[in-house]
Amino acid sequence: MNSVHYSPFAGFSLLPHLCNRQEAEENAAQKSSSWSPQVDIRANSDKILFSVDLPGVPADQVAVKVEEGRLTISGERPAVKTEKLDKQLRAESFRGHFERTFQLPDGVDVEKIAASHKDGVLEIEMARSDITKPRTIEVKKLN
């Protein structure tokens, strides 16, 4: 019977190569597909405010739509025009189409939604209808 030497750590020598290859494949897939901008949502009793980070995305490349109780923000970050260089050393920013959809809470006044774009930030402000604003109800003491 032949004996076989087993080394539990033999595969670890390939680990850095496999990790680098997997990271490169993931980065390539992410760069060529859609991406999701970061969104902050704040609210008070009167309004809801969405702040969407869109650096490098011109206002004319952004669409905001409300339909069936959902807010959809979509657009495209164009490719960067670079000087002719020998090779690209690193590319971390996402390019191409993006889309985010959010379910709106009941009571948003759709007619009073406003959007503005400044310094790479899209802000969407929504007023709450009077029906959904919190209120305190006085409890009367009955004799």
CATH code assigned at 124: 2.60.40.790
Q: Report pLDDT for 72.
A: 96
Stated as kind and residue range, the H or E segment containing 10 is none
- For residue 55, being part of any structural domain is answered with yes
3: left (phi over 0), alpha (psi -120 to 50) or beta: beta
| Alpha carbons 82 and 88: distance in angstroms, whole number | 10
Our count of domains for the chain comes to 1
- For residue 118, being part of any structural domain is answered with yes
Q: Report pLDDT for 91.
A: 77
Q: Report pLDDT for 29.
A: 45
Chain centroid, CA 92 distance in Å: 16
- For residue 74, being part of any structural domain is answered with yes
- For residue 86, being part of any structural domain is answered with no
Q: How far is CA 17 from CA 9, 31, 101, 110, in A?
A: 15, 21, 38, 53
Parent domain of 117: 34-79+94-133
pLDDT tens for the chain, 143 residues: list them: 566 666 555 555 655 555 555 555 545 444 445 789 999 999 988 899 999 999 989 999 999 999 999 999 999 988 776 677 777 778 788 889 999 999 998 888 888 899 999 999 999 999 987 766 667 888 988 87
- For residue 24, being part of any structural domain is answered with no
- For residue 125, being part of any structural domain is answered with yes
Stated as kind and residue range, the H or E segment containing 15 is helix 15-32
Question: 71 and 105 in contact (C-beta within 8 Å)?
Answer: no
- For residue 44, being part of any structural domain is answered with yes
- For residue 19, being part of any structural domain is answered with no
